[in-house]
């Protein structure tokens, strides 16, 4: 097996992809505590929210405040999702380090999620790039190709269309691109093949894998992307997450299980798993009654991975 031993980054997207799928509004003070504790557990990329109108996603209305706090933490890459130029302008104002622009490979999902065709969304990338450059900002523009492995509305999504949009996103000014299995349709073979093809289009600018665990294959899909050469993954603490326009899409891969996967194989992540599990317990209290996911928290670390003093 071709498993690299290079460092791997887990970008926490629970505060955005996770919380947007949960109806209740988590108080800002808890979100701030989450960001702080995730940072203390070693997370160095956190998507703290989304610049969408508060009437659409009241859960994320405090995104600007979260960016402001996150920027006080040295070395933290603060990322926000932006659906359009207006959102990008707010991201630039707040000084976020990274803007994540969704671009649906499914025409039907694109209309449902962004009320734009994929090519209209590509045009937006160009406008956002121009605004970023005009502002003299160093905020990175990352485009996530959503529904890259299939769509609950449209069904099959052609790999050729995904690759066309990867190229279009780069041509329009994206600094980086990623592939997302928004609805949990991917399998390891598809993941391996599409990422391999994606690298031929985008080279090392293909720099993120985003997987849901809707049908139990999330971690296996991460492995397939890792074997294809991806070393940066989105994940949500406690496996929360979904997409409001992708029915049944619940459950990102969980941060703590992913951290365990990499640690067990000896890949450095900089993450402190017991601290992540402690944070998960706090988040579970805040979200009491919501369906959470993930497996490690039940069993804990294996005896072979516990600190020496605990093995006595």
**What residues are labeled active site?**
243
Question: What is the pattern of x (binds a second copy, CB under 8 A) and - over residues 2-41?
Answer: -x--------------------------------------
108 touches a second copy (CB under 8 A): no
CA distance 126 to 168: 10
As measured in angstroms, the least distance from the Cβ of 208 to a second copy is 19
Q: Which of 61, 64, 77, 265 binds a second copy (CB under 8 A)?
A: 265
Residue 18 or 218: the one with the smaller Cβ distance to a second copy is 218
224 touches a second copy (CB under 8 A): yes
229 touches a second copy (CB under 8 A): no
Contact between 48 and 61 (Cβ < 8 Å): no
Residue 62 or 257: the one with the smaller Cβ distance to a second copy is 257
Q: Which of 50, 63, 110, 152 binds a second copy (CB under 8 A)?
A: 152
Q: Which of 234, 257, 271, 280 binds a second copy (CB under 8 A)?
A: 257
CA distance 134 to 246: 35
Question: By CB under 8 A, which span of 48-56, 87-95, 125-133, 186-194 interacts with a second copy?
Answer: 186-194
As measured in angstroms, the least distance from the Cβ of 159 to a second copy is 13
Write the DSSP string, the chain: -----S--EEEE-IIIIIGGGSSSPPPHHHHHHHHHHHHHTT--EEEEEE-S-TTT-GGGTTHHHHHHHHTTSTT-EEEEE--SHHHHHHHHHHT-SEEEEEEESSHHHHHHHHSS-HHHHHHHHHHHHHHHHHTT---EEEEEEETTT-BTTTB---HHHHHHHHHHHHHHT-SEEEEEETTS---HHHHHHHHHHHHHHHGGGEEEEEEB-TTS-HHHHHHHHHHHT--EEEEBGGG----TTSTT---BPBHHHHHHHHHHTT------HHHHHHHHHHHHHHTTTS----SHHHH-S-GGGS-GGGG-
As measured in angstroms, the least distance from the Cβ of 236 to a second copy is 14
Question: By CB under 8 A, which span of 53-61, 162-170, 211-219, 277-285 interacts with a second copy?
Answer: 211-219
Terminal-to-terminal C-alpha distance of the chain: 34
Q: Which of 24, 115, 189, 200 binds a second copy (CB under 8 A)?
A: 189
Residue 84 or 227: the one with the smaller Cβ distance to a second copy is 227
As measured in angstroms, the least distance from the Cβ of 215 to a second copy is 5
- Residues 59 to 78 in contact with a second copy, rule: CB under 8 A: none
User: Apex CA 39: angle with CA 77 and CA 82, to 5°?
Assistant: 40
Q: How many CB atoms lie within 10 A of CB 216?
A: 9
Question: By CB under 8 A, which span of 22-30, 31-39, 137-145, 264-272 interacts with a second copy?
Answer: 264-272
Question: By CB under 8 A, which span of 12-20, 69-77, 129-137, 152-160 interacts with a second copy?
Answer: 152-160
Q: Which of 80, 125, 190, 194 binds a second copy (CB under 8 A)?
A: 190
Q: Which of 41, 222, 236, 287 binds a second copy (CB under 8 A)?
A: 222
Question: What is the contact surface with a second copy in residues (CB under 8 A)?
Answer: 1, 3, 150-152, 155-156, 183-185, 187-190, 192-193, 196, 213-217, 219-220, 222-224, 227-228, 248, 250, 254, 257, 260-261, 264-266, 294-296, 299-300, 302-304, 311
């Amino acid at each position: 097996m071709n498993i690299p031993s290079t460092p791997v980054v887990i970008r926490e997207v629970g505060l955005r992809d996770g919380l947007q799928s949960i109806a209740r509004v988590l108080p800002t003070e808890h979100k701030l505590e989450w960001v702080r504790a995730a940072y203390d557990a070693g997370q160095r990329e956190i998507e703290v929210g989304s610049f969408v109108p508060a009437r659409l996603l009241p859960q994320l209305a405090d995104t600007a405040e979260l960016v402001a706090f996150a920027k006080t933490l040295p070395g933290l890459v603060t990322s926000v999702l932006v659906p359009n130029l207006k959102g990008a302008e707010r991201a630039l104002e707040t000084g976020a380090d990274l803007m994540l622009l969704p671009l649906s490979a499914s025409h039907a999902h694109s209309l449902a999620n962004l009320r734009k065709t994929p090519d209209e969304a590509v045009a937006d990338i160009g406008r956002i790039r121009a605004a970023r450059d005009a502002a003299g900002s160093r905020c990175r523009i990352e485009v996530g190709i959503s529904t890259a492995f299939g769509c609950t509305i449209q069904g099959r999504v052609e790999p050729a269309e995904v690759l066309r949009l990867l190229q279009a996103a780069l041509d329009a000014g994206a600094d980086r691109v990623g592939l997302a299995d928004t609805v949990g349709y991917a399998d390891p073979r598809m993941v391996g093949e599409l990422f391999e093809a994606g690298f031929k289009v985008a080279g090392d600018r293909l720099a993120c894998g985003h997987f849901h665990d809707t049908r139990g294959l999330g971690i296996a899909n991460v492995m397939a992307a890792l074997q294809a050469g991806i070393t940066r993954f989105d994940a949500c603490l406690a496996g929360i997450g979904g997409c409001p326009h992708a029915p049944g899409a619940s459950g990102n891969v969980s941060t703590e299980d992913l951290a365990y996967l990499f640690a067990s194989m000896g890949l450095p992540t900089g993450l402190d798993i017991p601290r992540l599990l402690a944070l998960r317990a706090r988040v579970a209290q805040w979200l009491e009654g919501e369906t959470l996911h993930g497996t490690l928290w039940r069993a804990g670390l294996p005896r072979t991975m516990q600190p020496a003093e605990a093995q006595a």
